[in-house]
């Protein structure tokens, strides 16, 4: 083995890591070494900068717990979460696109009747989301499960509220014709958590730390590829610069303001409300695979 020099060090390390038995791990480690060495050669960090980077990573790890994942947040703001999501959800272009799940999904949301209100007692402007879930050939999908979660009208998720029991989430099922009716309140734009190491980094930039108003959906139906996505409010101030890069054009929807009167659920509203119409298009499992090839 040659003794190392600045010039040969990357090749020496690559040679050492070239015989890993697991071919996938070998490929990952060889690429990691190549890119990591390329990065260090590019920026030529001082010892103090390298120590600061290690300190940032250490403090980021220490912030992680059951309730908080600062590394995922770092991956989100660097666009890596969306890149991984996009690579893993290549779909026919007519299917509704996926986006990142984010950290606020809580399993076992309460089952809601069609038109049921998942925002009982929550602040915000009432909002009805209606539409159909169908396949790529237009076939209605009956019994599809829509798992929703979102902020209330003050921009807070269940995890951020001192509440017992479900808050701003619900499980709906489509009817025989694939239709659904959801009652909620309109979400508002909110900031990602800024009190950790990611916030510390963002504060040193002019990059927005806001997410535009959105509702999260996880939709599943037997025989179809599961869909995890959001619907975003058209016209939101942050729609062009979502801090986690999750906005895709087909997911931007109109929140139409309606005067008091009959709501899409059939109930009479004494105050103005929003109406959002959206049809979700799921790809059959085989169709999703064909697009990935
Ligand atoms: C969210 O939409 O819930 C979210 C996604 C990524 C980072 C922070 C929040
Ligand atoms: Fe969110």
Q: What is the pLDDT of residue 291?
A: 63
Report whether residue 244 contacts ligand 1, using a CB cutoff of 6 Å.
yes
Is a pLDDT exceeding 60 seen at residue 284? yes
Q: In what order do the strands lie in the sheet with 252-253?
A: 169-173, 145-150, 214-220, 227-233, 252-253
Q: Does ligand 1 come within 6 angstroms of the Cβ of 155? A: no
Q: Is the CB of 103 under 6 A from ligand 1?
A: yes
Percentage of the residues of the chain whose pLDDT score is greater than 90? 93
- Residue of the CA atom closest to atom 4 of ligand 1: 102
**Torsion sign across C-alpha atoms 115, 144, 130, 137:** negative
Mean pLDDT to the nearest integer, 104-127: 96
Reported as a pLDDT band with limits 50, 70 and 90, residue 286 is confident
- Beta carbon of 104 within 6 Å of any ligand 1 atom: yes
Give the position, in ligand 1's atom list, of the atom nearest the Cα of 244. 6
| pLDDT tens digit sequence for 63-91 | 999 888 999 999 999 999 999 999 999 99
Residue ranges of domains in the chain: 9-44, 74-292
Q: Is 211 in the pocket of ligand 1 (CB under 6 A)?
A: yes
Contacts of 196 (CB under 8 A, 6+ apart): 60, 63, 68, 70, 73
CA dihedral 62, 68, 70, 75 (to 10 degrees): 150
**Cα of 214 from ligand 2 centre, angstroms:** 6
- How confident is the model over 149-202, as pLDDT tens digits? 999 999 999 988 989 889 999 999 999 999 999 999 999 999 999 999 999 999
CA distance 125 to 258: 11
Mutate to test the pocket of ligand 1, among 70, 190, 244, 247 (most ligand atoms within 8 A of CB): 244
Whether the pTM exceeds 0.75: the reply is: yes
Q: What is residue 252's predicted lDDT score, i.e. its pLDDT? A: 98
From residue 3, give the alpha-carbon distance in Å to each of 6, 10, 30, 123: 10, 12, 20, 67
| pLDDT score of 80 | 98
pLDDT of 67 reads 80
**pLDDT for residue 289 is more than 70:** no
- CATH number belonging to the domain at 74-292, selected among 3.10.180.10, 3.10.350.10, 2.60.130.10, 3.30.450.20: 2.60.130.10
What 3-state class would DSSP assign to 94?
coil
């Amino acid at each position: 083995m040659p003794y190392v020099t600045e010039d040969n060090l990357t090749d020496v390390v690559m040679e050492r890591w070239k015989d890993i038995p697991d071919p996938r791990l070998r490929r990952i480690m060889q690429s990691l070494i190549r890119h990591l060495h390329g990065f260090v050669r590019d920026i030529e960090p001082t010892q103090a900068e390298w120590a600061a980077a290690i300190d940032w990573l250490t403090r980021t790890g220490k912030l992680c717990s059951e309730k908080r994942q600062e590394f995922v947040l770092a991956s989100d703001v660097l666009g890596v979460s969306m890149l991984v999501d996009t690579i893993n959800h290549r779909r026919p272009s007519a299917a509704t696109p996926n986006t990142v799940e984010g950290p606020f999904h809580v399993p076992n949301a309460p089952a809601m009747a069609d038109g049921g209100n998942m925002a009982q007692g929550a602040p915000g402007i009432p909002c009805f989301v209606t539409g159909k879930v169908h396949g790529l050939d237009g076939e209605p999908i009956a019994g599809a499960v829509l798992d929703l979660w979102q902020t209330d009208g003050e921009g807070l998720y269940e995890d951020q509220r001192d509440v017992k029991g479900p808050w701003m989430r619900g499980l709906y099922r489509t009817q025989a014709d694939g239709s659904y009716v959801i009652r909620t309140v309109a979400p508002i734009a909110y900031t990602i958590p800024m009190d950790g190491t990611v916030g510390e980094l963002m504060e040193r930039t002019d990059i927005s730390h806001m997410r535009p108003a959105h509702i999260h959906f996880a939709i599943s139906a037997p025989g179809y590829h599961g869909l995890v996505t959001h619907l975003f409010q058209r016209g939101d101030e942050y729609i062009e610069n979502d801090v986690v890069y999750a906005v895709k054009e087909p997911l931007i929807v109109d929140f139409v303001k309606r005067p008091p009167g009959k709501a899409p659920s059939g109930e009479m509203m004494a105050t103005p409300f929003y109406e959002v119409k959206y049809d979700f298009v799921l790809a059959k499992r085989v169709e999703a695979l064909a697009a990935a090839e």
